[in-house]
């Protein structure tokens, strides 16, 4: 299915067109919105198609899969594509109210599309090195996005972000090199086939090589020792887009961990990497929530919560190291469900936070106060999202935590499950702090709140989604379970990718074939 690649071509061409349209404010907004709508509709159709017809693959340029670059869409890819494209659309809609003309002149919408391009690309690629290139596209766009407006705070925080991600990227290339040296391939399906046959001392080498990639992905996902770049840099991202950053960018790291460490590395003793992740996840959860509890800046509180939530997802991935295949299945399904829940709820909270800042004119909790008096609707949106984040029963947060805890208890990991439960309570405390300081209490000033009603539309869509995921969970859980099956039993994935049909281009003589022919003539 060649049209698979539209998931990255649409944002790519839109970014180019929007860069040319820079200065035509209304036209730019209209093109950005239409393109995102088209992209979202397309990826949702793709999800439906892949769910019924199985894994789809495109080999670029007709080079066969283990050698050329393959773009693969399985269910997990499609779920992530839907979330990233749909959220991108909502965030752009939200930005119509928050982004000033001056900021827009800093190529806001082209950068947004470029970020969509990078994110979708990293989801759809079936090759580890290509994943690196996708990461770089995504990161470059996010550097630019973080500096839109170029205030001193933004520039100095972006510098840190660039530096730490630059180091991460070089480690990623080094990791690709070492994995290529030990396994001999970088194609994900081929990696899964080859590593499954590796035992003994070489398996240890492959595990060591994979640890380099683990560091890189853990850095991107903000897992325990590598978290401190996040809560400083995310608060300077313009309101609205920070919802996209919070929801998607760290989850690209989680997705890569899931893809590479559950699907690709299957050598003897590969559980070591997952055990390391399980150990780190408990610390990530606890440290993240403790960091959030002592902050007073609403954006910083929410940013620290990203870290503690990433801990839950990494815990799910770590639980996949269990010897019992049913536990593995449940843990991976729970992680996928959690990723969906988290992306929706976390970005929703950032969007509500943006509205609250706009209504109260501050982002410091002690100066906000009394939002409920002037904007009760915003309070309604916040309380649903906050309770869902903390894991209260009717919403998606409860179910996703429940599935993960179930997997953890079935695997006998009582310590990490109890940390997860404690973290959940502390999250509730932190959310009630925002509620009582920002929404309750007296208004701190008499200024009339700025217009915010339009911004509530995309936020309300996300809130509706988390309620639907909680009350009508079975279809979502079923999809997550089927996606987990493709990951944990990758026979279908491997078969489809490695036997991808050659298209006409592939039948043309290849450069290497020409060289060989010329050499033979010479002889």
- Rounded to a whole number of angstroms, the minimum distance from the CB of residue 440 to other proteins is 20
- Rounded to a whole number of angstroms, the minimum distance from the CB of residue 336 to other proteins is 30
Residue window 204-223: x/- pattern of binding to other proteins, with contact defined by CB under 8 A: --------------------
Nearer to other proteins, 154 or 347 (CB): 154
Contacting residue, 158, 210, 322, 335, with other proteins by CB under 8 A: 158
Contacting residue, 10, 76, 138, 147, with other proteins by CB under 8 A: 147
Enumerate residues 69-108 that contact other proteins by CB under 8 A.
97-98, 100-103
Nearer to other proteins, 177 or 380 (CB): 177
Q: Is residue 268 a contact point for other proteins (CB under 8 A)?
A: no
Closest CA to 487 of 261, 186, 213, 251: 261
Nearer to other proteins, 170 or 197 (CB): 170
CB 312 within 8 A of CB 390: no
CA distances from 226 to 80, 86, 252 (A): 24, 29, 15
Nearer to other proteins, 170 or 502 (CB): 170
For the chain, helix (H) and strand (E) counts, in that order, are 25, 2
**How many CB atoms are closer than 10 A to CB 136?**
17
Query: For the residues of 477-491, what is the DSSP string, one character each?
Result: HHHHHHHHHHHHSTH
Contacting residue, 91, 176, 206, 385, with other proteins by CB under 8 A: 176
Q: Is residue 488 a contact point for other proteins (CB under 8 A)?
A: no
Q: Quick one: which segment of 13-21, 232-240, 259-267, 469-477 binds other proteins (CB under 8 A)?
A: 232-240
- Rounded to a whole number of angstroms, the minimum distance from the CB of residue 330 to other proteins is 37
Nearer to other proteins, 151 or 503 (CB): 151
- Rounded to a whole number of angstroms, the minimum distance from the CB of residue 92 to other proteins is 16
Q: Is residue 445 a contact point for other proteins (CB under 8 A)?
A: no
- Rounded to a whole number of angstroms, the minimum distance from the CB of residue 282 to other proteins is 25
Contacting residue, 26, 53, 501, 523, with other proteins by CB under 8 A: 523
Query: What b/e readout covers 186-218, taking b as 16+ CB neighbours within 10 angstroms?
Result: bbbbbbbbbbeebeeeebbbbbebbbbbbbbbb
Contacting residue, 11, 88, 126, 235, with other proteins by CB under 8 A: 235
CB 325 within 8 A of CB 354: no
Nearer to other proteins, 136 or 485 (CB): 136
Nearer to other proteins, 159 or 461 (CB): 159
Closest CA to 258 of 223, 228, 298: 223
Place of tokens 């509730």: 428
**How many CB atoms are closer than 10 A to CB 236?**
21
Closest CA to 128 of 88, 172, 74, 166: 172
CB 431 within 8 A of CB 310: no
Distance of CA 160 to the CA centre of its chain: 21
Q: Is residue 174 a contact point for other proteins (CB under 8 A)?
A: yes
- Longest Cα separation, the chain: 91
β-pairing verdict for 70-73 and 56-59: antiparallel
CA distances from 228 to 74, 279, 512 (A): 33, 18, 48
Please give the structure tokens belonging to residue 249.
């960018």
Report d(CA 337, CA 473) in Å as an integer. Answer: 10
Q: What angle do CA 87, 92, 93 make, to 5 degrees?
A: 95
- Rounded to a whole number of angstroms, the minimum distance from the CB of residue 476 to other proteins is 33
Closest CA to 274 of 386, 402, 413, 149: 413
Contacting residue, 259, 357, 375, 392, with other proteins by CB under 8 A: 357
CB 121 within 8 A of CB 137: yes
Q: Is residue 457 a contact point for other proteins (CB under 8 A)?
A: no
Please give the structure tokens belonging to residue 86.
């749909």
Q: Quick one: which segment of 4-12, 165-173, 475-483, 494-502 binds other proteins (CB under 8 A)?
A: 165-173
Report d(CA 179, CA 173) in Å as an integer. Answer: 10
Q: Quick one: which segment of 70-78, 144-152, 337-345, 376-384 binds other proteins (CB under 8 A)?
A: 144-152
- Rounded to a whole number of angstroms, the minimum distance from the CB of residue 454 to other proteins is 10
Enumerate residues 288-317 that contact other proteins by CB under 8 A.
295-297, 299-300
Q: Is residue 177 a contact point for other proteins (CB under 8 A)?
A: yes
- Rounded to a whole number of angstroms, the minimum distance from the CB of residue 242 to other proteins is 9
Enumerate residues 360-389 that contact other proteins by CB under 8 A.
360-364
Q: Is residue 151 a contact point for other proteins (CB under 8 A)?
A: yes
Contacting residue, 447, 457, 492, 499, with other proteins by CB under 8 A: 447
Q: Is residue 61 a contact point for other proteins (CB under 8 A)?
A: no
Please give the structure tokens belonging to residue 188.
């994900």
Nearer to other proteins, 25 or 482 (CB): 25
Report d(CA 513, CA 331) in Å as an integer. Answer: 47
Contacting residue, 13, 34, 156, 324, with other proteins by CB under 8 A: 156
Report d(CA 223, CA 284) in Å as an integer. Answer: 6
By CB under 8 A, name the binding residues for other proteins: 97-98, 100-103, 129, 133, 136, 140, 143, 147-159, 162-163, 166-167, 169-171, 173-174, 176-178, 180-181, 186, 232, 235-236, 238-239, 295-297, 299-300, 354, 357-364, 447, 450-451, 511-512, 515, 518-519, 522-523
């Amino acid at each position: 299915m060649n049209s698979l690649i539209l998931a990255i071509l649409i944002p790519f061409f839109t970014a180019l067109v929007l860069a040319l349209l820079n200065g035509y404010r209304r036209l730019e907004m209209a093109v950005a919105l239409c393109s995102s709508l088209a992209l979202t509709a397309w990826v949702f159709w793709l999800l439906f198609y892949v769910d019924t017809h199985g894994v789809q693959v495109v080999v670029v340029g007709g080079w066969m899969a283990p050698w050329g670059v393959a773009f693969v869409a399985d269910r997990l890819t499609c779920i992530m594509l839907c979330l990233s494209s749909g959220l991108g659309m909502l965030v752009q809609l939200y930005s119509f109210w928050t982004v000033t003309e001056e900021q827009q002149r800093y190529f806001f919408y082209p950068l947004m599309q470029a970020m969509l391009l990078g994110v979708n690309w990293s989801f759809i690629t079936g090759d580890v090195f290509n994943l690196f290139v996708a990461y770089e596209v995504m990161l470059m766009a996010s550097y630019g996005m973080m500096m839109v407006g170029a205030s001193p705070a933004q520039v100095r925080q972006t510098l840190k972000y660039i530096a730490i991600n630059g180091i991460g990227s070089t480690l990623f290339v080094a990791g690709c090199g070492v994995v290529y040296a030990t396994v001999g391939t970088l194609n994900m399906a081929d990696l899964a086939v080859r590593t499954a046959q590796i035992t003994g001392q070489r398996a240890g080498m492959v595990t060591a090589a994979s640890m380099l990639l683990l560091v890189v992905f853990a850095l991107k996902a903000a897992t325990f020792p590598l978290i401190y770049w996040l809560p400083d840099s995310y608060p300077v991202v313009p309101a609205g887009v920070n919802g996209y950053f919070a929801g998607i960018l760290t989850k690209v790291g989680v997705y890569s961990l899931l893809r590479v460490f559950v699907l690709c590395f299957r050598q003897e003793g590969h559980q070591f990497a997952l055990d390391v992740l399980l150990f780190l996840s408990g610390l990530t959860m606890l440290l993240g929530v403790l960091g959030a509890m002592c902050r007073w800046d609403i954006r910083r509180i929410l940013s620290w919560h990203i870290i503690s939530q990433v801990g839950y997802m990494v815990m799910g991935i770590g639980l996949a190291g269990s010897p019992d295949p049913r536990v593995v299945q449940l843990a991976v399904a729970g992680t996928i469900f959690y990723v969906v829940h988290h992306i929706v709820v976390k970005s929703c909270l950032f969007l509500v936070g943006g509205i609250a800042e706009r209504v109260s004119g501050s982002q410091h909790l002690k100066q906000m106060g009394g939002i409920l008096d002037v904007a009760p609707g915003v309070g309604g949106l916040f309380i649903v999202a906050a309770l869902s984040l903390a894991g209260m029963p009717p919403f998606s947060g409860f179910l996703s935590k429940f599935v993960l805890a179930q997997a953890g208890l079935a695997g006998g990991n009582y310590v990490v499950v109890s940390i997860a439960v404690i973290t959940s309570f502390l999250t509730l405390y932190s959310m009630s702090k925002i509620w009582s300081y920002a929404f309750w209490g007296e208004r701190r000033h008499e200024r009339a709140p700025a217009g915010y009603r339009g911004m509530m539309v995309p936020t309300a869509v996300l809130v509706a989604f988390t309620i639907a995921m909680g009350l009508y969970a079975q279809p979502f859980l079923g999809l997550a379970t089927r996606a987990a099956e493709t990951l944990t039993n990758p026979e279908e994935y491997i078969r489809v990718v490695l036997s991808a049909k050659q298209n006409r281009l592939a039948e043309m003589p290849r450069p290497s074939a020409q060289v060989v022919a010329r050499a033979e003539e010479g002889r």
